Amino acid sequence: MNHTMSFWRTSLLAIVLVAGLLAFAGTSGASSLKNCGGGVRAAVVSCAKAKRIAGEYVKTRARSLQGYTCSSGGSQGRCRLDRKLVVFPLN
């Protein structure tokens, strides 16, 4: 009986640990983007810089801006430099 309780306790602990890790992993990435206004969102970069990059990309559609690698899909543009990310509308 004691062995069965230990098994269930260990299983429950493992489930809670996995759920916690998945929740923590979900908090990184796109969900950590801050809203800079005008549809511009940024991670690990100031809003002023993000807005400059977004504006320049909308005008030029250049693949590289200020060291950032940029691309677009649908109605959204995206520029990335290491962990820095800027996402913005193209209209």
DSSP state of 45: S
Q: How confident is the model at residue 23 (pLDDT cuts 50, 70, 90)?
A: very low
What is the DSSP track for 6-30? HHHHHHHHHHHHHHHHHHHHHTSGG
* The amino acid at 61: R
Q: 62-91, pLDDT tens digit by residue?
A: 999 999 999 999 999 999 999 999 999 998
Domain edges within the chain: 1-32, 33-89
Q: Does pLDDT of 11 surpass 50?
A: yes
| Alpha helices, DSSP H, located in the chain | 2-26, 47-60
